[in-house]
Chains A and B, each alone.
Chain A
Amino acid sequence: MSALLKIEDLAVVFDTRAGTVEALRGVSLSLGRGETLGIVGESGSGKSVTAQAVMGLIDVPGRIAGGSISWDGQALVQDGAQQHPSGIWGKEVTMVFQSPMTSLNPLMTIGAQLEEVIRKHLGLGRAAARDHAAEMLAAVGISGARRRLDQYPHEFSGGMRQRVMIAMAIACEPKLLIADEPTTALDVTIQAQILELLAGLQERLGLSIILITHDLGIVAGLCHRVAVMYAGQIVETGSVDDIFDRPAHPYTQGLIRSTPRLDEPEDRLTAIEGTPPGLLHPPEGCAFRTRCPIARDDCRAPQALRPFGAGFVACTQPGVDAWGDGK
């Protein structure tokens, strides 16, 4: 599989009054055509910042401090310098955000917001853009599409707004759709509908998808490959099956065992003790070692992703059952 998106050693920092926060510390990823990659991790691990960097959305106080991103052979970030290619963002690479309630302009009609992106990237006239917009609404399962074009976001429910966001994202036949926690703000039944919609669109349009989430259940259902992030770095990548059956990094193991299961009686929820390190002065070496039950002295040295099994892990003792209870 040829890589469409290639992220190499990406570093992003945020300049704050207290100092420089290192949000991404050398992230490398690649994504093939038609592939679905899940990026999981807790809040502040750098999942969303990675997505923003790919979309060219890193803005003051944040800045790209190093690394490269290339899309289909074209540089988006070259050796730490932001590039501004035209016709990629919004057309070939698009994004759906977390909060559908606030991600649409409240004072523009749904139609105007859809037509805007269609006219810019497909160069259609007013009438043709409107027809296309109606088609897109219908494609994401909104009935009475033509009538709804003239409505405002507040006349739509949260789930419907997320469908509109997806309609905007697929309006110009993208190759990659980045979905940043697309269902977090929605209730569970709507979540399932949105995920089904994404899966269906992927199949029909041959999309690549990057799905950012902290919900392992969603990853298991939708993704081919998973990258686990912790404290601004990727600590493990691999196929969905490998990650869920044989998690090699203690943090991945901890994440999976802290997911509540319906098929086993459990008195209380399992959690990983402790909190992630602050990224103002990130620790040398493995960032997880302060919470890791099997940390050793050599964990103080920087850990790079190394092949292990079919995937890659950044750990001194990959594959060891760190939590010792086989869960």
Chain B
Amino acid sequence: MPDFILRRLFQGLLVVLGVTATVFVVTRVFGDPVSLMLPLSATDAQRAAFAAQIGLDQPLPVQFWRFLTDIVTLDFGDSLWQRRPAIEVVFERLPNTALLVGAGLGLAVLVSIPLGAIAALRPGGLVDRLVVSLGLLGLAMPQFWLGLMAIMVFAVQLKWLPTSGFGTAAHLVLPALTLAMTPIARFTMMVRAAMIDELNKPYVQTARAKGMSLPRILRVHTLRNILVPFLALSGWEAITALSGYTVVVETVFAWPGLGLTAVQAIQRGDLFLMQAIVFVIAALIVIIGIAIDVAAKSIDPRIELN
């Protein structure tokens, strides 16, 4: 197990470096960071001075070497927009995003498992068809639209919750619900399909013949068996949430997390902040992947980690 984690961490390091290097190549070789970051009205002298200031006058291999050695100390340069180290901005915003994603995905897990299990009890029955229809609806609603609708209904019309912003638990409700909708739908569909599969397996008949109650069979026997594929899907959803959902949801609700910061960094041509965000998100994705594998092994002893 420790061997496995070390090996995966090493592989993950390569992946993160690869992703970051790609950003380096795309921005320096194919793009021009100076015209990206300076306003159109900047003079040639100003451009040259700025290039020298951030080291762009050096040959590419030298730049790349400096880029790599700086990364080791988590030095991505100063954010042009915030005038402080980019990584500092990232670490300041990261907990907000973690709170949003944790609340959204946590809610999705709590809702989808019972919903999917109830639907699976009578495939094709009324409850099942209702759940499947709602699931398709949930998958079909884009988050930017859902977020705006939620603001209009619950914040503007009913005035139950704040329209946007950050600070109290009430501020978390609408963004988390909006972010949770797609994962709820996808998790529920998956739990339903996997539960139907499991409930038809011979071990369930054994449990019934032992006189076990249906709730116990669902809770103890089948749930454990769908947990490994469920973990894999929730890892995927967590990654999608970090690198996609949060960009939309945080923008709609002005939630000061990494997603909103990424949008702002791109709008302001803040190259160094962008690089820091990409690096941290890539690292998080690698860590989630390893955590999912280790958790799967602890549930299913037949899984070989290698």
Contacts and interface: CB of A to CB of B under 8 A. Distances in A.
Interface of A: 55-57, 60, 86-91, 94-95, 97, 99, 102-108, 116-117, 120-121, 152, 154, 165, 168
A88 B211 CA distance: 8
Closest 4 CB pairs of A and B: A90-B211, A90-B210, A102-B202, A95-B209
A18 to B, nearest CB: 16
A108 B221 contact: yes
Contacts of B210: 89-90, 94, 116-117, 120, 168
Contact of B212 (A88, A107, A116): A116
B39 to A, nearest CB: 61
Contacts of A88: 211
Interface string B203-236: 1011111111000000011001100000000000
Given A108-B221, A108-B224, A103 B211 contact: no
A117 B210 CA distance: 6
Contact of A103 (B203, B221, B301): B203
B224 A55 contact: no
Nearest to B204: A105
Contact of B211 (A60, A104, A107, A120): A120
B201 interface: yes
B300 A103 contact: no
B129 interface: no
Contacts, number: 71
Interface of B: 122, 201-203, 205-212, 220-221, 224-225, 299-302
B202 A152 contact: no
Contacts of A94: 209-210
Most chain A beta-carbon neighbours within 10 Å: one of B209, B210, B211, B302: B209
Contacts of A120: 210-212
Contacts of B212: 90, 116-117, 120
Given A103-B202, A105-B203, A57 B221 contact: no
Contacts of A95: 209
B9 to A, nearest CB: 27
Contacts of B220: 108, 116
B209 A99 contact: no
A116 B203 CA distance: 14
Nearest to B299: A107
Given A108-B224, A116-B210, A120-B212, A103 B302 contact: no
